[in-house]
Amino acid sequence: MLSFKNGENRNFNFVFGADGTHSSVRKMIFGNEDNFLVFYGAYFATCETKEIPTNESVIYNEPGKMAGIFPFINSTQAIIVFRSPKLN
Protein backbone atom coordinates (compact mmCIF):
# COMPACT_ATOMS: atom_id res chain seq x y z
CA MET A 1 0.00 0.00 0.00
CA LEU A 2 1.21 3.51 -0.84
CA SER A 3 0.22 6.50 1.30
CA PHE A 4 0.03 9.94 -0.32
CA LYS A 5 0.56 13.30 1.40
CA ASN A 6 -3.17 14.03 1.12
CA GLY A 7 -3.90 10.92 3.22
CA GLU A 8 -5.13 8.77 0.33
CA ASN A 9 -3.95 5.14 0.35
CA ARG A 10 -3.70 3.05 -2.83
CA ASN A 11 -2.38 -0.36 -3.84
CA PHE A 12 -0.10 -0.85 -6.85
CA ASN A 13 1.60 -3.89 -8.36
CA PHE A 14 4.76 -1.85 -9.08
CA VAL A 15 6.10 1.49 -7.87
CA PHE A 16 9.06 3.08 -9.66
CA GLY A 17 11.01 5.97 -8.20
CA ALA A 18 13.25 7.84 -10.61
CA ASP A 19 14.14 11.37 -9.65
CA GLY A 20 17.66 11.66 -11.02
CA THR A 21 21.12 12.36 -9.66
CA HIS A 22 21.28 12.61 -5.85
CA SER A 23 17.87 10.97 -5.79
CA SER A 24 15.72 11.28 -2.68
CA VAL A 25 14.03 8.00 -3.65
CA ARG A 26 17.43 6.27 -3.85
CA LYS A 27 18.30 7.72 -0.44
CA MET A 28 15.09 6.31 1.07
CA ILE A 29 15.93 2.82 -0.22
CA PHE A 30 19.73 2.63 0.13
CA GLY A 31 20.61 5.32 2.68
CA ASN A 32 23.03 8.22 2.39
CA GLU A 33 24.86 8.29 -0.95
CA ASP A 34 28.15 9.02 0.85
CA ASN A 35 28.17 5.30 1.71
CA PHE A 36 28.51 4.49 -2.01
CA LEU A 37 30.55 7.35 -3.47
CA VAL A 38 33.95 6.62 -4.94
CA PHE A 39 35.98 9.50 -6.37
CA TYR A 40 38.12 8.46 -9.32
CA GLY A 41 40.08 11.71 -9.66
CA ALA A 42 38.28 13.19 -12.66
CA TYR A 43 35.41 15.54 -13.42
CA PHE A 44 33.14 15.45 -16.47
CA ALA A 45 30.70 18.00 -17.84
CA THR A 46 28.55 17.70 -20.93
CA CYS A 47 25.97 19.91 -22.58
CA GLU A 48 23.93 20.09 -25.72
CA THR A 49 23.83 23.22 -27.87
CA LYS A 50 22.33 24.27 -31.16
CA GLU A 51 24.53 27.38 -31.16
CA ILE A 52 27.64 25.55 -32.45
CA PRO A 53 26.61 23.88 -35.70
CA THR A 54 29.18 21.32 -36.84
CA ASN A 55 29.34 18.23 -39.00
CA GLU A 56 32.62 16.96 -37.58
CA SER A 57 34.04 16.14 -34.18
CA VAL A 58 36.80 18.28 -32.73
CA ILE A 59 38.84 17.15 -29.72
CA TYR A 60 41.52 18.98 -27.76
CA ASN A 61 43.49 16.67 -25.51
CA GLU A 62 46.55 16.97 -23.30
CA PRO A 63 47.52 15.04 -20.17
CA GLY A 64 44.89 15.58 -17.50
CA LYS A 65 42.36 17.49 -19.61
CA MET A 66 40.19 17.11 -22.67
CA ALA A 67 37.53 19.16 -24.43
CA GLY A 68 35.50 18.24 -27.46
CA ILE A 69 32.48 18.97 -29.59
CA PHE A 70 30.59 16.27 -31.42
CA PRO A 71 27.74 16.47 -33.95
CA PHE A 72 24.52 14.88 -32.80
CA ILE A 73 20.94 14.70 -34.05
CA ASN A 74 19.92 18.35 -34.67
CA SER A 75 22.45 19.65 -32.14
CA THR A 76 26.06 19.56 -30.99
CA GLN A 77 27.33 17.89 -27.82
CA ALA A 78 30.16 19.56 -25.92
CA ILE A 79 32.23 17.80 -23.25
CA ILE A 80 35.05 18.71 -20.91
CA VAL A 81 37.01 16.28 -18.75
CA PHE A 82 39.79 17.07 -16.30
CA ARG A 83 41.74 15.27 -13.61
CA SER A 84 41.89 16.93 -10.21
CA PRO A 85 42.03 16.17 -6.53
CA LYS A 86 38.54 16.15 -5.03
CA LEU A 87 37.09 19.66 -5.00
CA ASN A 88 35.05 20.79 -1.99
Which pTM does this prediction carry? 0.59
Q: Which letter, b or e, does each residue of 72-84 get, where b requires 16 or more Cβ atoms within 10 Å of its Cβ?
A: eeebbbbeeeeee
Residue 39 predicted with pLDDT over 80: yes
pLDDT at 52: 83
pLDDT of residue 46 exceeding 80, the answer is yes
Where are the chain's structural domains?
2-83
Report the mean per-residue pLDDT for the chain: 89
Alpha carbon distance 33, 21 (integer Å): 10
pLDDT of residue 27: 86
The answer, yes or no, to whether residue 43 has pLDDT greater than 90, is yes
**pLDDT reading at 17 higher than 80:** no
